[in-house]
Structure 1
């Protein structure tokens, strides 16, 4: 098992090295800082893009409190507690760092927007490993994954190359929904992961369509502001999941659950289709 783990990590590092060799560097575009909504209210520059980050701070702080207040989330494993602690710290820090960045968007401030996000992303990967693959490996992976996230930010700042950061950001977007569907969960309410992934995907679309959305809404709200609000729904759904879930007594993947449900639906349809009716003659009374 240990040898296989080494092989997996070795293969992952090899794939990363090959990717870095065969793909061109991705520099940070200055146009990235040119957001659609630059209005100022109450003396706050880029007001809506700034204050739309406050939900991250609120949800992050609530999550941290509930992690430790009477073990409200019923986290039974030490690795889980650490993983979710780092996740909620990252979420709360996004609220501060992203607000700071949007007050005066530039590369130097963007570091404090992206660094907390990498903490949240990498923590989630570690949590998934703990819950769905192996508790010990997941716990041991927390610090290395966090370091990978930090290094990806430093690499971008020193070499003006976004490739490592892009990998850290988008790999969880692919891996987490797949793992949520294919791997049997330790806890109930596993579909909340898919809701969180869906809102994050919607947030990325809104981010890409920042200026068109601002135009479509007649300059009321921009895509980037909506992106913040939708992205904040990710920790909201995960917090609700933690509050509602319990130990899964019969561990089976969502894919298997869906297959069983679909099979039952098909069987019911077949029963309805094959149901026959017989006519009973009615005798007339003399």
Structure 2
């Protein structure tokens, strides 16, 4: 039983069942994106609730609230570099986290540019930054729950598929492929988070050398961001025109980076994945008795 439990938490050299399921899911997503209906942009594409110009800056709040993306991206890259120098991370996890934090920086620039000068081209720049961050997060989740090969496959597929979807959007105005990419990506992230939750309930620690990112927390912040985005005007009215739902959406979406930053905290011990390891009650910076520091 012990060997079976351990094998579930390691990435074998031969193609695994989970890798096969991931490939099937990716093929299904591609088929859905190609076979779906044409979805044109809505008439309110650029109609955000807060249109104020402050300090000479058009749409100031929607522009300035992108600053947390840049700050967390820079902080994340610095913390990641420190952990890499310590030799504490596997290459796949480090690459995925680096892609995610770089995507935050691109999102900050693209979104700020778009809200400053709303236009079809700047909107695509905004989405391109989001795509890089999204690909990094999905690759990180795949490395956490499946393995390095799955992380590389998923990250590359999302980047390539997202670039194709944005090209289709820019040329034809069809949003369907982009919507499929976002929706299927979130479903996959939910499935990986559920797998992590099951592993936790079974008393198993994160896979060896993985970060142990709380995918549930990432999803929670993302879900809050989508709710605030949907309630843009309602939040603006409820706050007496102080702040809009879309501005708060930027802050909530940026906070989705916090679970990754927390997983990279200095001195954090990456537990071995063994049944019965007392990782639930252990503080993250403390090693279990008898464990050797590397």
* Shorter-chain TM-score tier: 0.7 to 0.9
Change (3 A) 1:218 1:96: same
Number of matched residues?
A: 252
> Which structure 2 residues correspond to residues 69-80 of structure 1 after superposition, within 5 A?
69=82, 71=84, 75-80=88-93
* Superposition CA RMSD, Å: 2.6
Alignment match of 2:229 (pick from 192, 203, 207): 207
| Alpha-carbon distance in 1 for matches of 2:224, 2:145 | 26
| Higher relative contact order, structure no. (Cα contacts within 8 Å, ≥ 6 residues apart) | 2
Contact 1:121–1:168 (8 Å) recurs in 2: no
Matched, 1:99 2:122: no
Matched, 1:237 2:285: no
Alignment match of 2:248 (pick from 221, 226, 229): 226
The alpha carbon displacement at 1:115 in A equals: 0.5
Alignment match of 1:17 (pick from 17, 26, 31): 31
Deviations 1:70-94 (A, max 9, x none): 5378652111121111111001111
Alignment TM-score, normalising by the size of structure 2 = 0.77
Question: Structure 1: any 5+ residue segments left out of the alignment?
Answer: 258-286
Deviations 1:228-247 (A, max 9, x none): 01111001232112216532
The alpha carbon displacement at 1:14 in A equals: 4.3
> Which structure 2 residues correspond to residues 121-140 of structure 1 after superposition, within 5 A?
121-140=134-153
| Alpha-carbon distance in 2 for matches of 1:73, 1:225 | 37
| Alpha-carbon distance in 1 for matches of 2:85, 2:68 | 21
Bigger shift: 137-146 or 46-55? 137-146
Contact 2:104–2:129 (8 Å) recurs in 1: yes
Bigger shift: 164-173 or 194-203? 164-173
Question: Structure 2: any 5+ residue segments left out of the alignment?
Answer: 1-13, 200-205, 281-294
Contact 2:144–2:210 (8 Å) recurs in 1: no
Contact 1:66–1:73 (8 Å) recurs in 2: no
Higher share in helix: 1
Alignment TM-score, normalising by the size of structure 1 = 0.79
Change (3 A) 1:51 1:9: same
